[in-house]
Structure 1
Amino acid sequence: MAVKNLVVRTVKFALFLAFAANLAACGLPRSGPTKSELTRQDSETGQASFVVNVDDSIMRVSNIQPELGFPNDFKRVGMVGSDIIRPGDVLGLTIWENVDDGLLAGQGQNSTILEEVQVDGAGNIFVPYAGKLRASGQTPEQLRQVITRKLNDQTPDPQVQVRRVAGDGATVSVSGAVSGQGIYAIERPTRTLSAMLARAGGVAVEPEIAQIVLVRGNRRGRIWFEDLYDDPSLDVPLRGGDRILVEADTRKYTALGSTGAQSLVAFEMQNLSALEALAQVGGLLSTTADPTGIFILRDEQPNIANTLLGRSDFKASQRIVYVLNLTEPNGLFYARDFHIRDGDTVYVTEAPFTQWDKTISALTGSLGRVNSLSNLAN
């Protein structure tokens, strides 16, 4: 009798396992595909993506980031001479006359102040009794001498002062995420990019995610704000008409699976590692996550895909699935050093136990409900 009962229990348990396996295969609720499903090869339809296990050699290729920078001609230009007068500039003139009743001064005065003298589009200005004078291309000192000579024939020993107030001919626009947007003159203290940004009050976003765009004519360059101070060659001289735009980093990645949060996540730093990306969303869920199945899904450029896979026939972007196993000896180091890129998907699979636990819960719950209904019927 004991043997018979043991056989019956064994058969029932086998049937239970078979039913459980069938129930699991039917599709219990889960956060996404399993590790085996993601890495499975399809021999009939061909491989839609390529699975790559991350190691040092893989990271040397995959960690190549798109470079930001300025065109070389932005860097090669000389510093703008802040004393050179240009069309559109505004000048301030003061003229002293060595007589009581001068040409320009009022009764009882010996000086005349012309607060705003506009340099016209042709580069000329008009000074009473001196006439139309060429100002563009000259320094204030050179123009002072010209005006003095012109007035000297009409009033004895005139003394002239010329002040350059930078106007439309030497200004840049600063906009975007800065404390003070506006039009700023290129003056002696603000002839470089960093100085002009300081003049505008500095960036109004976190420095780690700030990007600087400089537009000059029909050309443009983009750099990281932090690189501006790390690399002196990026602190380029400005030119009249330059447009400076400060933007926050717009890169994002998607976090899915057994993580603390499943969402579209903005980058919080210039270089974001896989470990930091997981930390941003609360890390792995200790109750469900499979630390051997951390996947980064990315569309790689053909040159990178060819190098990764040892091929040369790819002409278009390829779908690459990078696999991180945190339980390996160097797994955490690989996750720390692997760079996430814009548009990546970070997916953490569920541990096999999790699906089995869901199956058992579903079965025990179902059997409990059946017993309850049976008791009610009786």
Structure 2
Amino acid sequence: MVPATYSQTRPERHRDKDCMLKLSLLVAAVSVAFLPAACSRLPGGAPASEEIMKSAADVDADFALYSVNRAFLPTVAHWPPTGKQETLGWIRASQGPKTQIIRAGDRLSMQIWDNNDNSLLTSIEQKMVALQDVRVSANGTIFLPYVGDVNVNGMTPELARETLQRELETIVPSAQLQLNVTEGRNNSVDLVSGVASPGTYPMPDRNYSVMGLIAAGGGISSGLNNPQIRLTRGGRLYGTSVDSLLNHPQKDTLLRGGDRVFVEEDERYFLSFGATGTEDLHIFTKDDVSAMDALSISGGFQDSKADPKGLLILREYPASAVAPGVRGPRQTRVVFTLDLTTADGLFSARNFQINPGDLVMATESPINDALTISNLIGNIFGVFSRAGL
């Protein structure tokens, strides 16, 4: 049964993304509605980012304002996460023996040879008897004629053959046994989605890894954006990205019987509007997206409108982030400003991480009224709050 977290179908996820896109356009509409007022109050003047800095002190703003620079980056890096950021652990790789282990549900096929004319198992004309698809019971035993139940649970096929051979020799001293194992559910893993050929795959040995399973499934489906791997085991969910797995071989963990593996598209997103190339919802294209990455993904600045001194990142933190004793912002609503006309601003933009749900806003030079900008940002945050983002 697929975990509830990933039971949503692809059409449903696309409908959710469409809703988010509509929301981003609504936010853009809110901003456009305020532009005329901003332009009519004060002609020309200081860049928007400077006026917003003033608004934090001059206006009773309900947001905290931070200028992103080299000195500030270590501080914000320790603040609580925001948006849809699952803190899933992962299981490090280890080396396993290249042998099978017999588990309950496996099926054993045995060929018993005996050339004795008075054999209990074979006739004069037939020197071999086959026992096909003998299922290993829940308690790990199989039934062997004239012998009874024999425990083979946890044994390698070779050890199980030797054990069954010894049991047979007590009644048929000249018997010889050949054994083949077909893996059952407890020795198989499920590859659920995100590959060319999903299905249930038997584990050839105890050294079967996640990447080996994906390769057996035909590789990752084309078109998945920054594909993520999810592994369910024993009621727990683990996760990492394919990119991280490829770049860190120590993460290629060994599988266990009953594991389920999903390959899903990265569903984290950020929004862009204002004087950017596109006003849209943008899916994360890699694990870590910087402010400079986000600007590039959204089409960069509009040369005729954008103020490179006024790149804003709007973010909303949970209430727990401003609790006493927690390293976090002064208020839940935060505006980060970046000045891309300086070397420090450019380097800082490359190291400032975008969080899921962030709003990347490129301001225009004519927007220079402090009160109007404060109201604009307040209304944008209001749209996000009403939408539950």
TM-score by length of structure 2 reads 0.71
Q: Contact 1:170–1:241 (CA<8 Å) still a contact in 2?
A: yes
The CA RMSD over aligned residues, in Å, is 3.8
Counting only pairs closer than 5 Å after superposition, residues 11-26 of structure 1 correspond to structure 2 as 24-25=39-40
Q: Distance in 1 between matches of 2:179 and 2:330?
A: 63
Matched residue SS, 1:209? coil
Letter in 2 for 1:70: G
Q: Deviations over 1:91-127 (max 9, x none)?
A: 1212112146855457744223333111111212123
Q: Distance in 1 between matches of 2:234 and 2:326?
A: 39
Counting only pairs closer than 5 Å after superposition, residues 317-356 of structure 1 correspond to structure 2 as 318-352=332-366
Q: What residue in structure 2 maps to residue 85 of structure 1?
A: 102
Q: Contact 1:190–1:196 (CA<8 Å) still a contact in 2?
A: no
Counting only pairs closer than 5 Å after superposition, residues 306-317 of structure 1 correspond to structure 2 as none
Shift, 1:345, TM fit: 0.2
Shift, 1:284, TM fit: 0.8
Greater relative contact order: 1 or 2 (C-alpha under 8 angstroms, separation 6 or more)? 2
Q: What residue in structure 1 maps to residue 208 of structure 2?
A: 191
Q: Distance in 2 between matches of 1:302 and 1:205?
A: 40
Matched residue SS, 1:279? helix
Q: Distance in 1 between matches of 2:185 and 2:327?
A: 55
Q: What residue in structure 1 maps to residue 67 of structure 2?
A: 53
Counting only pairs closer than 5 Å after superposition, residues 194-273 of structure 1 correspond to structure 2 as 194-205=211-222, 209-273=226-290
Q: Distance in 1 between matches of 2:245 and 2:224?
A: 11
Q: Deviations over 1:213-269 (max 9, x none)?
A: 111112222112222233344222222222212111111000010111101111111
Are the structure 2 counterparts of residues 241 and 46 from structure 1 closer, same or farther at C-alpha, using a change threshold of 3 Å?
Answer: same
- Which of the residues 110, 116, 127 maps onto 2:127? 110
Deviates most, 286-295 or 101-110? 101-110
- Aligned pair 1:121/2:138, yes or no? yes
Matched residue SS, 2:186? helix
- Aligned pair 1:70/2:67, yes or no? no
- Aligned pair 1:41/2:55, yes or no? yes
Are the structure 2 counterparts of residues 348 and 86 from structure 1 closer, same or farther at C-alpha, using a change threshold of 3 Å?
Answer: same
Counting only pairs closer than 5 Å after superposition, residues 140-151 of structure 1 correspond to structure 2 as 140-151=157-168
Shift, 1:86, TM fit: 1.3
Q: Contact 1:302–1:316 (CA<8 Å) still a contact in 2?
A: no
Are the structure 2 counterparts of residues 127 and 283 from structure 1 closer, same or farther at C-alpha, using a change threshold of 3 Å?
Answer: same
- Aligned pair 1:134/2:151, yes or no? yes
Deviates most, 62-71 or 165-174? 62-71
Q: Distance in 2 between matches of 1:24 and 1:82?
A: 74
Give the structure with higher Rg (CA): 1
TM-score by length of structure 1 reads 0.73
Q: Which runs of 5+ in 2 are unaligned?
A: 1-35, 370-389
- Aligned pair 1:170/2:187, yes or no? yes
Q: Distance in 1 between matches of 2:308 and 2:337?
A: 11
Are the structure 2 counterparts of residues 214 and 94 from structure 1 closer, same or farther at C-alpha, using a change threshold of 3 Å?
Answer: same
